[in-house]
Amino acid sequence: MVCFGTAALAKEVIRSVHRHSAAGLEFFGFGKDSRRGAGVEMRKVMVGLWAVARGSMAVVLVVLAGTRGLAAQTAPPLPASPPVHLTAPEDHRRLMDLLGIKELRPGEEKDANWDEAKANVYPKLPAVLVEKNGKSVTTAEAWWKERRPEIVEDYDREVLGRTPADLPKVTWEVVSRTPETMGGVAVVTKRLAGHVDNSSYPQIAVTIDATLTVPAAAAGPVPVMMELAFAGEYKASLARPLSDTTSGALGDYGQTWERQVLGKGWGFAVLSPMSFQADDGGGLTEGIIGLMNKGQPRGVEDWGALKAWAWGASRLLDYLETDKSVDAKHVGIEGHSRLGKTALVAMAYDPRFAIVYSSSSGEGGAKLYRHIYGEPLSHLMNVYLYQWMAGNLLKYAGPLNPGDLPVDNHELIALCAPRPVFVGAGSSVRDEPGKSPGDGWADARGMFVAEVAAGPVYRLLGKKDLGTQQFPPIETGLMDGDLGFRQHPGGHTPVPNWAAFLEFAGKYLEGTGAKGQ
């Protein structure tokens, strides 16, 4: 071995590393299996060595001759950097800077359009059955092999973000098993914890919280409805007895739906998406998104919270496929508001889900971006909500507009085909203090029009569309086809449409264990 003791010779080490990058990585503790992503750490080492080389203090560096052959004697790997912590405004500004955006269009409620006559600003929708080369899609094969992948790519790049390819394994634990009675039905409830493998970055631990409740006396495996629950709603679902009234927590509208599901002879699962990915831009370097980025901020094409929450729903479905009490071929998914968007994304990206109830999902969900009524795209991408989507979507709230998007949400619904989709909403009036509650922010008509525009794909695949292009009166359910729609007369709540959805779902979820209940 050769010993060096001067700053000048330290510079020679750096030159050698630059000339022999593979050997240099081994010298600094990066073996063949750990060189991926080591460039950042190499730059840190270089900076440190140059600092020493420029200083007046002598250094002693031992260079092992033939480092390729003596990898066993190399230094241990440098510890991974801790997660970067940015506030939501800091991270939002960082993404805008990456995209060269100075400001977004105004997007508060006072800036929204509440006149339906002015909503059709961008009347031309992307043609769902025309390929990018202009070729019409006339067969199911062309849909699956050509057009559908094009739509998925556009959503991944511009709207929802790209799901990482190397996602970690989730190991499920049954934390508890409790026999109990709900609504006069004997059931068994399991508390579940999905432990996410964080060996790639131990600084971030991720656990998926969920429950599963099934009838105790079922004749066999039963269909299951999976609900995506807000944090407070999930907590309320654990309280006993279940309450018919809201706890006041965000997203908690009472727990009546569970008893309705049990009345069908089915089971239900409740997933807590916020347990594994915070609903906050300041939390994007934590949770499953932070774990995959090793604590670093997102790129503009990286997945947002909607995709991450949908990933968690798929992992819970993995568990349900192993539970003998569950008919895993008949698992539906439901969510409301931001989680209604998530439920639709999960349905679009995971073909194992049998049916979806997307409630008041609005902008970023079942609503057309191009239908300018209620919540505008610029509100969806503000500092409080941008974490749901890919950073690239900021472009369409600033220098570009919804008409510039390569896709729109009739195509998100079409990605669910041929499986059934039920869209629910409240009244189309603006929700104002002192007046009857409304759900205009979610834009029921904009969601209805999106379902109509998804119809050609359902027909191509041998299924039935909504059956009409006329917006139906309130409380008139459209449920004869494989696309369903209903608008209730109240505000922003999924409760009034649950019974109609379960009637719609009854055409699809009759598993062996549910019969005769």
Q: Same structural domain for residues 169 and 295?
A: yes
Mean pLDDT of 253-280: 96
Of 56, 73, 90, the one marking the end of a domain is 73
Q: Tens digit of pLDDT for each residue in 95-153?
A: 999 999 999 999 998 899 999 999 999 999 999 999 999 999 999 999 999 999 999 99
Residue 83 included in any domain? no
pLDDT at residue 31 in the model: 41
Residue 82 included in any domain? no
495: which strand partners?
none
Query: Structural domain of residue 260, as residue ranges?
Result: 156-514
Count of domains for the chain: 2
Q: Same structural domain for residues 64 and 194?
A: no
State the pairing for strand pair 483-487/355-359: unpaired
Of 73, 97, 117, the one marking the end of a domain is 73
Q: Same structural domain for residues 69 and 160?
A: no
74 — pLDDT class (breaks 50, 70, 90): low
Half-sphere exposure for 252 (CA within 13 Å, toward CB): 21
Residue 488 included in any domain? yes
State the pairing for strand pair 355-359/326-336: parallel
Top mean-pLDDT range of 69-78, 374-383, 505-514: 374-383
350 — pLDDT class (breaks 50, 70, 90): very high
Q: Same structural domain for residues 165 and 64?
A: no
Look at the alpha carbons of 113, 448, 104, 101 in this order and tell me if their dihedral is positive or negative: negative
Residue 139 included in any domain? no
Residue 423 included in any domain? yes
Closest by CA position to 339, among listed 331, 328, 347 = 347
Residues 6+ apart with CB under 8 A from 300: 95, 98, 99, 390, 391, 392, 394
pLDDT at residue 79 in the model: 72
Q: Same structural domain for residues 184 and 56?
A: no
244 — pLDDT class (breaks 50, 70, 90): confident
Burial class (CB in 10 A: 0-12, 13-18, 19+), 15: exposed
Mean pLDDT of 68-90: 74
Least confident of 251-260, 414-423, 440-449: 251-260
283 — pLDDT class (breaks 50, 70, 90): very high
Residue 39 included in any domain? yes
Question: 79 phi and psi, to 5 degrees?
Answer: -65, 145
Q: Same structural domain for residues 295 and 196?
A: yes
Residue 395 included in any domain? yes
Q: Same structural domain for residues 264 and 384?
A: yes
Q: Same structural domain for residues 360 and 268?
A: yes
Of 73, 95, 126, the one marking the end of a domain is 73
Q: Tens digit of pLDDT for each residue in 15-47?
A: 444 444 443 333 333 343 443 344 434 433 333
Q: Same structural domain for residues 358 and 265?
A: yes
H helix or E strand, kind and range, residue 222: strand 222-228
The CATH number that applies at residue 293 is 3.40.50.1820
pLDDT at residue 451 in the model: 98
Residue 368 carries which side chain, given as an amino acid letter? L
> Residue 72 corresponds to which tokens in the numbers above?
């066993």
Closest by CA position to 183, among listed 238, 239, 263 = 263
Would you say residue 49 has pLDDT above 60? Answer: no
If phi > 0 it is left, if psi is from -120 to 50 it is alpha, else beta; for residue 134 that is left
Residue 300 included in any domain? yes
Q: Could you give the CA distance from residue 474 to residue 480 in angstroms, rounded to a whole number?
A: 17
Question: 485 phi and psi, to 5 degrees?
Answer: -150, 140
Q: Same structural domain for residues 472 and 332?
A: yes
Q: Which single residue is written with the structure tokens 């460039």? A: 39
Q: Could you give the CA distance from residue 358 to residue 366 in angstroms, rounded to a whole number?
A: 8
Q: Same structural domain for residues 295 and 404?
A: yes
Q: Same structural domain for residues 42 and 162?
A: no
